[in-house]
C-alpha cells in the first residue's frame, strides 16, 4: 500500500472564525515522506503539522513557527486524515484556517473533487502497543491497542440541549464522511458575546456553528444529528491526533476530552517507543489495516 497525496492543486476561500475576514487557502500535492505542511503566504512561513509546533490548545489547536501562528487547524486535518492523505502542502493567507460551516464537510468535498494519487513510497502506520492515558481531573483521553481504528467519546454538559451523549465510531473514510464530517462546532451565546468584546469570534455566526443560549439551541434549522455535539468531538479528536504524522491503529476513548488533552495524548504517545510500533505497508496483504483506508 502506497503513500497518498492529492492529484493537483485546488483552491478555496472561507471566513475566519476570529477575525471575520475572507481567507484564501489552497491544497497542493507534496512529495512522498513530506507529511502535512502548512505555508502562510502572508508571512512566507512553513509550519509542519507536528506536536512540537503546537503552541496553544485553549479554544482550538494552534501551531506556530518563529512567532507566526495558524489556528483552528483541527477540522482541516481531520478531513485530510480521513482521506488517507500522507503528504500535502496547505497554503493559507492568514493566521487561521477558515471555519467554513463549522464542520469538515467542505474540506471533504474539496478533497473528493480533486482526488488522491498513490506515490512511490510505502505507507506507514502507527500501531499502538500499550495503553496511553492523560487526565485532567475526571476528564481523560486515552488510546489502547486494538486491531481497528475506533473512537469512543462521551460528553456530559450541564445544559438541557446537550446533557449526556456517548458515541462509538468505527473509522473508515466512508463512515467518516457519512457520520462525522457534517457535525459542526458549537458554542454558547454568552461566550461569543464575551469573545467579541475582546475582538475575537468576529466571524462566528449561526452559519458556522451551533449556538446555544442558557436553555436551547438558537439555530432555526436545529441539529444535523441528534448527538451532533459528541460527533463533533470525535471530528476534533481525529484532527488533533493527525499530528502524530501517520495513520494509527488503536482504540481512542475520551470523557469530556479537549484539544488540550488530545495534545497531551499525542506527546505522551510519542514520548516512548514502547508505546507504539511503526509498520510499513509493503503489500496489499496487510488487510488488518483496510478499515483505515476504506
Longest Cα–Cα distance in the chain: 57
CB atoms within 10 A of CB 245: 18
CB atoms within 10 A of CB 192: 18
Are 236 and 77 within 8 A, CB to CB? no
- Which one of 18, 75, 259, 260 is the catalytic residue? 259
Q: How far apart are CA 62 and CA 127, in angstroms?
A: 26
- Burial call 201-229: b when 16+ CB within 10 Å, e when fewer: bbbbbeebbbbbeeeebebeeebbbebbb
Is 259 catalytic? The answer is: yes
- Burial call 261-278: b when 16+ CB within 10 Å, e when fewer: bbbbbbebbbeeeebbee
Q: What is the dihedral of CA 125, 122, 27, 54, to 10 degrees?
A: 40
Q: How far apart are CA 83 and CA 76, in angstroms?
A: 11
Put the strands of the sheet holding 22-29 in their side by side order.
10-15, 22-29, 88-92, 36-40, 45-48
Catalytic positions are 259
Amino acid at each position: 500500500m502506497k503513500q497518498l497525496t492529492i492529484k493537483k492543486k485546488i483552491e478555496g476561500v472561507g471566513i475566519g472564525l476570529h477575525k471575520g475576514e475572507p481567507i484564501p487557502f489552497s491544497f497542493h500535492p507534496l512529495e512522498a515522506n513530506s507529511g502535512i505542511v502548512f505555508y502562510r503566504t502572508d508571512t512566507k512561513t512553513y509550519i509542519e503539522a507536528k506536536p512540537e509546533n503546537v503552541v496553544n490548545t485553549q479554544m482550538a489547536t494552534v501551531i506556530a513557527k518563529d512567532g507566526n501562528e495558524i489556528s483552528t487547524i483541527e477540522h482541516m486535518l481531520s478531513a485530510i486524515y480521513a482521506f488517507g492523505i500522507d503528504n500535502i502542502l496547505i497554503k493559507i493567507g492568514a493566521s487561521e484556517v477558515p471555519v467554513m460551516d463549522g464542520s469538515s464537510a467542505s474540506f471533504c468535498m474539496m478533497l473528493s473533487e480533486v482526488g488522491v494519487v498513490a506515490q512511490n513510497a510505502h505507507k506507514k502506520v502507527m500501531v499502538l502497543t500499550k495503553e496511553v492515558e492523560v487526565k485532567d481531573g475526571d476528564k481523560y483521553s486515552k488510546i489502547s491497542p486494538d486491531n481497528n481504528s475506533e473512537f469512543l467519546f462521551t460528553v456530559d454538559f450541564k445544559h438541557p440541549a446537550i446533557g449526556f451523549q456517548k458515541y462509538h465510531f468505527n473509522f473508515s473514510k466512508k463512515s467518516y464522511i457519512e457520520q462525522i464530517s457534517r457535525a459542526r462546532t458549537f458554542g454558547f451565546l454568552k461566550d461569543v458575546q464575551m469573545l467579541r468584546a475582546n475582538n475575537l469570534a468576529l466571524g462566528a455566526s449561526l452559519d458556522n456553528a451551533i449556538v446555544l443560549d442558557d436553555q436551547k439551541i438558537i439555530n432555526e434549522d436545529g441539529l444535523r444529528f441528534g448527538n451532533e455535539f459528541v460527533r463533533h468531538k470525535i471530528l476534533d479528536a481525529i484532527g488533533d491526533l493527525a499530528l502524530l504524522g501517520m495513520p494509527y491503529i488503536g482504540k481512542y476513548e475520551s470523557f469530556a476530552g479537549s484539544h488540550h488533552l488530545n495534545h497531551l495524548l499525542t506527546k505522551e504517545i510519542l514520548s516512548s517507543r514502547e508505546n507504539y510500533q511503526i509498520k510499513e505497508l509493503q503489500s496489499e496483504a496487510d488487510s488488518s489495516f483496510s478499515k483505515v483506508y476504506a
